[in-house]
Structure 1
Amino acid sequence: MKTELDVCLGKSGIPVGKLVFVRNGPRVFTQFAYFQDWLDHTDTFNVSPDLTATPGYQTRKPATKEDSLFFLALADTEPDAWGRRVIARAHAKRREEDSKLGALSELDYLCAVDDFSRMGALRLRNAYGAYLESVPAGRRATPPLLELEKMLASSRAVELGKESAQDLAYLRGKATSLGGMRPKCSILDEEGYLALGKFPSINDERNVTRAEVLALKLAALAGITAAKAHVAVVQGTAVAVIRRFDRTPQDARIPYISGATLLQANRQEEHAYTEVLAVMKGVCANYVVDAQELWRRQVFNHLITNVDDHLQNIGFLYMGGNQWQLSPAFDINPMPDKDRESKTWLSEDTGPVTSMSQLLGQASQFALTREHALAIVREVVEAVLQWRAVGQSADIGMTTQELNEFASAFEHSSLVEAKKLSGL
């Protein structure tokens, strides 16, 4: 089987190249070739770090079964685990009615993401000129915020294994590339901006949706550029509404890659922030600013026990002129039942982040003097110390009991150490 699709860029859909999906028995691989017009374009750039700007087809064969079949910037637009779950359930329902339908391929999953909300600026177009996945003219696949109630009910049905074909038809395609197994959907917020709606799971033991908004608000207080977020209450249920940062107010699409893509990292390998820094030096327009922000985020993550800081949870936005910048922080969650040990190592020599002294010991690698690093620690500590007040604010609305369930994520020996270091 061989399927060819055009890869296009941005709101205007500039043709960039040809994607070819090939399945020959057990052998499955993909190829990509840039169009000559794109190579000659005045604003041309490598849309993925693993695709060099040269004529002819380049082939991608994943190193392991866990790695994507697609070149990495395209892989960043694949549905996450929740999206795959919805797509697979919908396909299973269709197979019950049509036994001739075959199993889903990785290309099917990639193409099932709604074109309107596909992450970044890359878009897929078939031989008929239709963007994948798109809906009939005049209908927007991403529903308004008022339909959160319906999305919540459909997502809950999927979690319970009681979903109808209508539930799956409603959710299919509205998945996201950001964020694992938790129920979520692409939505439009109250101001009409593309956003991510994250729902509570039936397995939650705490109010994790309000806590994620709390973390993002605290990050902003700590001087971190973070995704804008608020809590929407749907029939008594808190939903985290997190605005997407890969769109402009005019709905233009901003190219996006993950930290894993920047590093061309295998999904099963351990990697370090210092490795990311080494690549950032060559591609980031404001390297020093981004490097210092990356260190600030590590301090913040450590002090709120956000330990799921894998490379897919670090992002970069394209600025033009072959240069990138660190994207706003996202997917930040306090985890009171976890050890304070980062997923991504601080450096290849030190291993994961486990203490404030370790972070300070590596601050110079992030373009920081000790004095500047201590000033950042003070700003982060001052923000984190407000966690209860911010959590109880009208914007977030956590109860005392809900806050107590997260206390160990915020109140611990590392915070005491950070306060001493910063003179608080």
Structure 2
Amino acid sequence: MSTSTSQLPRRTFLAGVAGLGAVGALAACSSGSEAPSSSGGGSTPGQLQGTINGLFMKQAGYSEQHIRQMAAAFKKANPGVTVNMEFVAYEALHDKIVAAAAAGTYDLVFIDVIWPAELASKGLIADISDRIPANWSTDILPGALNSAVYQKKFYGIPWLLDTKYFYFNKAMLSKAGIEPSSVTTWDGVAAAAKTLKSKGIVKYPLMWSWSQAEAVICDWAALTASFGGKLFDDSGQPAFTSGGAVQALEFMRRTLVDGLTNPSSTQSLEDDVVKVVSAGDAAMGLNWTYMFAAANDPKQSKVAGDVVITEVPNGGAGRMSVNGSSALSITATTKNPDAAWAFAKFVSSQKIQEKYVSDSLPIWNASYDSPSVIKSAPEVVPVAKEQLANMVNRPQVVNYNAISQKLQVAVQKALLGEVDPKQAMTTAAGDVEQILKQ
């Protein structure tokens, strides 16, 4: 299973924003997929029968209580369907999905964005491409819709959204005479960091989650995309030995050499970035959405009110970030695919997602123009509207976990100066190619 430490704290983001003044579960909801339909030859709403056994994640943005409320609403519209739900920690989720597959225990499972290739190739989750409505290609944010795509086929309905954003301390930038507009590019970020350091405002202006873990791959993937590169090409082969991937790694290493990045970044995870920025010991950094609420909470931050969330800076190819979303997948062994589809479609509908926006941002484009959604997190929603439409997946390869671990080691060696970035990637490519042949 994935060892991504980012999966845990980031899921609680919107509850934290709600604590800063966001509304709770919204009573007024805009139109959307109010009642689930069952395309692909199934029963119509209200005529569905049977039992759905679902496996969900405890740390999901939607609380267990709210997911049960969603199930109750679905049950009211579909009295012939019983929905049983099991909640487990993220660390147990992947292995439980795999272990339970042979017995056909579950009809619907919550999957991370890095699992579709493995689970689909093993025949554990169903191809639902023929069920996906044509209008979803325009109605749903593209990054969200691609959260469960493998080899151009859909293996899940997007449900929870997340991506990494760029954060900066506006008070520190102002004190140094730096305009916020100057940190919209990575060159501008480096220049701002040099100014902040030279003026003695903060010793290490930049803080990152570059520990040898999935966290560093997330940062590297975002930077690679913004520099115009890819980690893998369209045929599933390594593309990280040149272009934007190497440029991104060179940029990362250079900020360490120049003393702009806190050296502890190479042993740090996402929570460490929050702590350092919240302590006033860094002016800028990348992190998941949850950081906005945490860094602006006066109970846990010395710089509350000063931390701004914005899009990832442009490296030349746009303000691109990394997809940290999740989806609901119908298992390949389910005996009730129509009911499972209807339930997944219902809980991911615009109406339901806007009702529970205090837990997680919606997958629907139109939601980001809804006054009630904007009111739920006014500093975040406009930024999310742009960033969530511009994010890339980490490599959709079958042996992702093994490949990620090889890349983590290679990136870490380059960051620590043990080997040149390009050479590190060339060596890693050989290791990755061997894994791909397995």
Give your verdict on TM over 0.5: no
Task: Select the structure that is richer in helix.
Answer: 2
TM-score (norm 2): 0.23
Q: Which has the higher contact order (CA 8 A, sep 6+)?
A: 2
Task: Select the structure that is richer in strand.
Answer: 1
TM-score (norm 1): 0.23
